[in-house]
Amino acid sequence: MNSMTQFNWDDIQFFLALARDGQLSGAARQLGSSHVTVARRIDRLEAALRQRLFERSARGYELTASGRRLVETAERMEEASGSIIPGAGPGPGLTGNLRLAVPEGFSNFFSEHMLAAFTARFPDLSLELITLTQVISLSRREADLTVTLDPVTRGAYRSEPLADYRLRIYAAKSYLAAQDPIRSRADLPAHRFLGYIEEMLFATGLDYLGEVHPALRPGFKSSSIYSQMIAARQGIGLCILPCYMAEACPDLVPVLPGEITLKRNYWLTCHRDARQMRRERAVIGFLMEEIRRHAALLMGPAALGG
């Protein structure tokens, strides 16, 4: 960049904020400014560099190839300015807000097993954890990073495998004590099941019951996996639950564990531009590292009932 002396540090701050958020309004909130000022600063920066840094569209601002190249230089300038602690590692010194959107079950897993480590690794980073009960709008950049149940392959978004996890049928001990023994898959349709509301399924992987037995129909439906689990603990019926949730409840026991086990995947999804950001790269690395440490919890007991 031969024109680096033609603009000041303030312009780079506006550039990074817009590159990270993708929306004028979001960048303005982050900077305590107005969307008009952000747009004007970006126009001035592009004029100084004689390069187009963003493609404008109804969806927002997306980095061009020149913009993506500038990110690394801009973050070095940010570090040198003191916004990031000089010499800090990949975690300490990162600042600002980071919005992470995850499925409901994963949000509680994250809060219980990973949040303390996140706070220790990124003490100056403000985390906004969104619990997904439906699909957020990726095109409006409503989250910086998203954990999804299905990979996203469209547009400028990229998904990579984050973790596998197991699910089994669970029931309350009180429920099973009051019922005839369940000896095989063929016995299942005689029991009340708990499950999702079909038209509100936000991922194909949540359609568990048909995979277990084509005749299963839920007698209680909820868009919340935790509401389903609570109903199961109250002895209302059988429920397919992630092992990492159910195994923490001593009043729940697996049903036909040697015969019926489901496996699903979590995917880490982000806009390709987010991959250019030092902050997002550091958080992605943290998530991958922590998930590897907790892989056994996500998979549950390997050979229940043989």
What CATH number did the domain enclosing 189 receive? 3.40.190.290
What CATH number did the domain enclosing 22 receive? 1.10.10.10
Looking at the predicted structure, is the pLDDT value of residue 16 above 60?
A: yes
**Domain identity same for 268 and 139:** yes
**Domain identity same for 75 and 114:** no
Q: How far apart are alpha carbons 81 and 78 in whole angstroms?
A: 5
Query: What's the pLDDT score for residue 61?
Result: 86
Query: What's the pLDDT score for residue 32?
Result: 83
**Domain identity same for 269 and 147:** yes
Query: What's the pLDDT score for residue 279?
Result: 82
Determine, yes or no, domain membership for 100: yes
Q: Which residues make beta-bridge pairs with 129?
A: 100
> Which of 16, 49, 81 is the last residue in one of the domains?
81
pTM over 0.85: no
Looking at the predicted structure, is the pLDDT value of residue 87 above 70?
A: no
Confidence of residue 90 (pLDDT cuts 50, 70, 90): low
The total domain count for the chain is: 2
State pLDDT tens for residues 214-249. 999 999 999 899 999 999 999 999 999 999 999 999
**Domain identity same for 40 and 138:** no
Question: Span 114-119, mean pLDDT?
Answer: 96
Q: Which of 126, 119, 123 is nearest to 100 (CA)?
A: 126
What is the CB neighbour count within 10 angstroms for residue 9? Answer: 12
State pLDDT tens for residues 254-303. 999 999 999 999 999 988 777 767 888 899 999 999 999 999 999 988 65
Under 8 Å between Cβ of 286 and 91: yes
**Domain identity same for 132 and 173:** yes
- Structural domain of residue 74, as residue ranges? 4-81
Looking at the predicted structure, is the pLDDT value of residue 2 above 50?
A: no
**Domain identity same for 248 and 272:** yes
Looking at the predicted structure, is the pLDDT value of residue 305 above 50?
A: no
**Domain identity same for 103 and 77:** no
Query: What's the pLDDT score for residue 6?
Result: 58
Q: What's the mean pLDDT when you consider all of the chain?
A: 84
Query: What's the pLDDT score for residue 295?
Result: 93
**Domain identity same for 31 and 147:** no
> Which of 18, 53, 81 is the last residue in one of the domains?
81
Under 8 Å between Cβ of 240 and 262: yes
What is the CB neighbour count within 10 angstroms for residue 197? Answer: 11
